[in-house]
Chain A
Amino acid sequence: MIRLANVTRVYSTGGAAVHALAGVSLEIGRGEFVSVMGQSGCGKSTLMNIIGLLDRPTTGEYFVAGKSAAGLSEDARARLRGRAFGFVFQSYNLLPRMTALEQVELPLIYQGVPNRKQRAAEALLRVGLRDRIMHQPTELSGGEQQRVAIARSLVVDPLLLLADEPTGALDSETGAELMKLFTELVEERGLTVVQVTHEPQVAAYAHRIVRMLDGRIIEDAAVDRGGKDPKGSNGDSK
């Protein structure tokens, strides 16, 4: 589905250049569920942005469905983002002064699809928000805002879900619910998920864990469930 070939991303703002990605090669197939882990500042969000076509590599190549992303027009990138990708930002990025329902409706407006309100309400319901859909971001808790952001990414039925710490603001129980939802979508609809997380028990829901350090991938391994049910680990307290 996607492939990165020796991708680097260098920020040259202010004096010294920061190598947020220092040569990353990665291939993720359709229907895979991948967790990306690593210490703060190692380049996880930068990687997600490039995969999500929100940013461009400094060097190296990025392929989406076999095609080089560098060759895509700005409009083609926008269409892919809107139809095929769902993005959950680490900082949610909700629009101010808009209700939860309108936030989730937003991607549908640009797709020009019918029954927008209904589909948005359904997506909100899936992440467990039923009675707060007419609230604006300032009237929602952090976890509720995060779930609005998740509903917004899922509402278009994307092929690829990119979630940057989707459980960061959620309690472990709600987090586990969300992981079950992701797993279900992966198994039943063939959704591809790439998520960033710091929590091992959240990461463990994935098929595969990619570990990063200083802009490089240092480990890329399948999750060995060994008969251990991931649901069992969510009771662990940290």
Chain B
Amino acid sequence: MSLVDAFRLSLRSIFANRLRSGLTSLGLILGVGSVILLIAVGQGTQQEITDRIRGLGTDLIFVEPSAAATTSQTGGFAGPLESTLVQGDALAIAANGIHGVLSVAAHTSIDVQAIAGPNNVGAEIVATSSEYGEVRDLEINSGSFITPLHDEEGPLVAVLGARVAETLYPGNDSVGREIRLSFAGGRLSLGFVVAGVLEEQGGVSEANDQVFIPLSSIASRVRFLFTPTGGLRVSQIDIQTASGADEKQVKEEVSELLLFRHETFEPDFVIQSQDELIGTATAVSNTLSILLGSIGGISLLVGGIGVMNIMLVSVTERTREIGIRRAVGATGTDIVQQFVTEALTLCIFGGLAGIAIGTGISLAMDGRELGGQEMTTVIQPWSIAVAFLVAVAVGLGSGSYPAYRATKVDPIAALRNE
């Protein structure tokens, strides 16, 4: 039998059994589609995290209290209260003349409620110094960022992220106006004057939802942020290095300095460069990717088993047809070729439709908001190839094996099969 005849025959049979063919392809479409989609979501999440870390600035090194030294990472005051880092550490790093260090900003994050008249929004306060704007590449829309004068005097001024400003004073310039920040679930509430509003930060940036205040302003009001020896606790220190600086060297020198200052040999802090942070985050999100990929794999498997089931039933059902064909001269090869062509046609069609749907949904989801969070999807070409090949292999195996078996009995036995 010629290939053209085999193909024509398979199309006929596929269209003659529309429901069966539809169900068979449906299993593959869903399986292939979900593998592609879920892997795209996993990879998208990874990309988003990477972008977010990149969006923090360039050539940054972060110093944080080590996990062993702090027991909780929750919001409110709990985080900063257990921190092993103090503002003096940041000042020392800046003053020590370590080669490659451009500027240093210590900061403490506290979750608050920001209120202006009838409007209020949950925001994250970043209590920091004037260097922070430079370290994090923040651009000012109106007013100014925290100034060195603010650092010194500690007035109650605030710089608003773009989205916070838009929520509190929609459509208006909020510079010079008053907002209230409510700390620790309302137990402490302070009025601040807006000193500046940030430009909307592009890409994935958390700065849009933050409020920046001088570290010195709360230092003089919230006594319990101080250590017994009088240091002001901070939750993180950001170090901006010159581009091309030896990050390893900087990290080593910072580490030595901090060990000396903390009078210990066991570091109670962690120093990570941006790239290392990305590496860590990637490792975490890889786990997520694998998890999502496995779920996709399972649905492909389930789809594949469905296809196998339908194929097995359909070939068994058509044992009589196989008997008739063999009686009029079809060889075993002819029969197997017929079923392989049919299974292949069906699986290629199902696989392609699955690819179309999987990539289609992935593309449609990219950049859309889902459950209040912006989705990022990155379609992986290898996931398309793997899903497609698995689909085709499943179809081939489940179509040809029973057909091969049917050619191993005498035609008359196949014909008696009703």
Contacts and interface: CB of A to CB of B under 8 A. Distances in A.
Interface of A: 49, 52, 54-56, 74-75, 78-79, 81-83, 87, 89, 93-97, 106-107, 109-112, 152, 156
Contact of A81 (B16, B326, B415): B326
A89 B2 CA distance: 27
Interface stretch (B41-49, B57-65, B163-171, B328-336): B328-336
B410 A78 contact: no
A54 B327 contact: yes
B328 A54 contact: no
Contacts of A55: 410-413
Contacts of A110: 1, 325, 328-331, 334
A79 B16 contact: no
Contacts of A106: 324-325, 328
A93 B415 contact: yes
A156 B328 CA distance: 10
B327 A87 contact: yes
B328 A75 contact: no
B364 to A, nearest CB: 40
Interface of B: 1-2, 5, 9, 16, 320-321, 323-334, 407, 410-413, 415
Contacts of A112: 1-2
A152 B328 contact: yes
Contacts of B324: 93-95, 106
Contacts of A56: 410
Contact of B5 (A87, A93, A109): A109
Contact of B328 (A74, A81, A97): A81
23 contacts: A54-B410, A55-B410, A55-B412, A55-B413, A56-B410, A74-B331, A74-B332, A75-B332, A75-B333, A78-B330, A79-B329, A81-B326, A81-B328, A81-B329, A82-B330, A95-B321, A96-B321, A97-B16, A106-B325, A110-B329, A110-B334, A111-B329, A112-B2
Contact of A54 (B321, B333, B334, B412): B412
Given A54-B327, A87-B327, A110-B1, A78 B412 contact: no
A110 B328 CA distance: 8
Contacts of B407: 74
A138 to B, nearest CB: 13
B326 A78 contact: yes
Nearest to A93: B324
Contacts of A49: 412
A171 to B, nearest CB: 26
A3 to B, nearest CB: 20
Contacts of B415: 54, 89, 93
A33 to B, nearest CB: 22
Nearest to B334: A110
Most buried by B among A55, A93, A96, A110: A110
A83 B329 CA distance: 7
A79 B410 CA distance: 14
Contact of B1 (A52, A54, A81, A109): A109
A182 to B, nearest CB: 19
Given A54-B411, A56-B410, A78 B1 contact: no
B418 to A, nearest CB: 11
B113 to A, nearest CB: 71
Contacts of A109: 1, 5, 9
Contacts of B412: 49, 54-55
Contacts of B411: 54-55, 81
A75 B336 CA distance: 13
Contacts of A75: 331-333
A82 B1 CA distance: 12
A95 B321 CA distance: 6
A14 B1 CA distance: 38
B201 to A, nearest CB: 65
B327 A93 contact: yes
A112 B2 CA distance: 7
